[in-house]
Amino acid sequence: MSESTDFPENFEGEQKKVRRRRKNTDDLFFVSMEAYEVIEKQVRSSGNTGRIYLPTDWIGQRVKVVRVTPIDRKENKK
């Protein structure tokens, strides 16, 4: 898997490679990766965590999960 440093001209977020989970996840950043398939889903509640269902032929495969919408901090505090 190769990583690209080419960013869209209109991209206004942080422009650097991210190799591990960042502490401040409120800032927008650009991700570029090679992949075989993309599925967009909404995370559902499951006990004390979130869950997404993926196709059974993905079992045992490496996947990456990317959050594409900001978290509303006010909404999540109960």
Q: What is the pLDDT of residues 29-58, one digit of tens each?
A: 788 888 999 999 999 999 999 999 999 999
Q: Is residue 49 part of a domain?
A: yes
Q: For residue 73, how many other CB atoms are within 10 A of its CB? A: 8
Number of structural domains in the chain: 1
Residue 2: is it exposed, middle or buried by C-beta count within 10 angstroms (0-12/13-18/19+)? exposed
Helix (H), strand (E) at residue 76:
helix 73-76
Mean pLDDT of 4-24: 56
Question: In this predicted model, which residue has the larger pLDDT, 32 or 23?
Answer: 32
pLDDT winner (highest mean) among 18-22, 25-29, 36-40: 36-40
Q: Which tokens sit at 35?
A: 């992949």
* C-alpha–C-alpha distance, residues 75 and 32, integer Å: 30
pLDDT of residue 4: 47
What's the average model confidence in pLDDT over 9-23? 57
Query: Residue 67 sits in which domain range?
Result: 1-71
Instruction: Tell me the percentage of the chain whose pLDDT exceeds 70.
Output: 63
